[in-house]
Every structure is written in structure tokens, then in C-alpha cells.
Amino acid sequence: MKRIAVPFIVIAFLFTSCKSEVEETIKGMWTIDTITYNGNDVKGCLNSNVIFFKEGEASTFPTITNGCEEVISPDNNSQPEKWEIIKSPNNADSIPLRLEITSKGKVINGIHRVAFHGDQSEKLLKMEFWSDSLYVLCRKGLFNYDKNLKTINRLENLKISSL
């Protein structure tokens, strides 16, 4: 029994610490470079190109306001909103983490795969999250790239075996 419990505790600890680093890195301001919904570019339809990931239900996600009625109808007020990092239900998944967003905004609400990329030339941390209908590429605001290289490398190399 002890042989089974120890590996389980170690795996749980690693997932918790990894999840914590991911959540801490996600917190803050991100600007959207690209956003497509059902294959359509909807960046011009948003009320903002900024996402604020905060603790609890205080996050702010952009909503569809106008000009895209042929793609999607405008959203209602989307507050309060929240997010969390969850593990993929598939242990063999090459993208092990999911970003679950709870929002009244139709476009951004849901569970999305999430991956991170360091952009050495522009000194930016970029995050992609996507689902069957949504693709978002955004960049972290107010993030010191050079002082966070170790964090960036860990985020870029997340594998299910490390969780």
C-alpha cells in the first residue's frame, strides 16, 4: 500500500506545483494578437483586445459587441467571469493543460487547450489557447522576459509526464 501511495503523492505534488506556476504566470494582462471563431477573424468585433486574468471571479474577457452579426450575435454583459487551469482528461495528450473559462461571452466561454511560447526576438511570452471553435494568440503584458527565462522554458516544455 505504501508503494502505491508514495508515487501518487509525488505526482499530485508535481501537478500542483506546475499548475500553480502556470496560474501565477497567467494572472495579469494579456493583449490579443489573433482571435478566430469558427474560422472567422473576430478581433475587430471585440469591445477590447485585452484580457485580464485575475483571481476569483474578477477577470475581464472581451466580448463581441457589433459588426459580426453574420458570424455571431453580440454578447450580453459578461461579468462575473472566472478561469482555472485543469489537467487534460487524456493522459497521453501532448498538450496536458486546459484553460477553463466561465463567461457569459459566447466566444471565449469553455475549455481550451493552452500552450506557451517564448518569443526571443520580441522578448515576449506568448500564450495560445484553442478549442474546436476558438483560437486565441496573445502576449503577456508587463512581463520581464529576461528575468523569467527559466519559467518560460518550463512552460514551453510542459509534458504530461512532468505533471
Residue matched to cell numbers 466561454 = 109
Total number of domains constituting the chain: 1
Q: Which pLDDT does position 143 carry in this prediction?
A: 96
CA 5 to each of CA 52, 74, 91: distance values in angstroms, whole numbers, following the listed order: 39, 50, 19
Q: Residue 17: is its pLDDT beyond 80?
A: no
Interval 48-75 mean pLDDT: 80
Question: Is the pLDDT assigned to residue 75 strictly greater than 80?
Answer: no
Is beta strand 97-102 parallel, antiparallel or unpaired with respect to 110-119? Answer: antiparallel
On the question of pLDDT at 10 being above 50, the answer is: no
Contact present, 35 and 134 (Cβ < 8 Å): yes
Mean pLDDT of the chain: 82
Q: Nearest-CA neighbor of 148 among 132, 128, 126?
A: 126
Burial of 108 (0-12, 13-18, 19+ CB in 10 A): buried
Over residues 20-24, mean pLDDT: 92
| pLDDT for residue 64 | 79
As a whole-number percent, the residues of the chain with pLDDT over 70 amount to 79
Tens of pLDDT along 76-120? Answer: 555 568 899 999 988 888 888 999 998 877 788 899 999 999 999
State what percent of residues in the chain have pLDDT above 90: 52
Per-residue pLDDT at 26 exceeds 70: yes
Assigned C-alpha cell, 54: 485575475
Kindly give the pairing relationship between strand 82-87 and strand 124-130.
Answer: unpaired
Rounded to whole angstroms, how far apart are CA atoms 103 and 53? 12
pLDDT at 1: 57
Q: Which residue has the higher pLDDT, 132 or 158?
A: 132
Give the integer Cα–Cα distance in Å for 69 and 66: 7
Domain that holds residue 48: 2-162
What is this structure's pTM?
Answer: 0.81
- 25 C-beta neighbours (distance < 10 Å), count: 20
Q: By the 8 A CB rule, do 123 and 136 touch?
A: no
pLDDT digits (tens, 9 = 90+) for 112-154: 999 999 999 999 999 999 999 999 999 999 999 999 999 999 9
Locus of grid cell 459588426 = 67
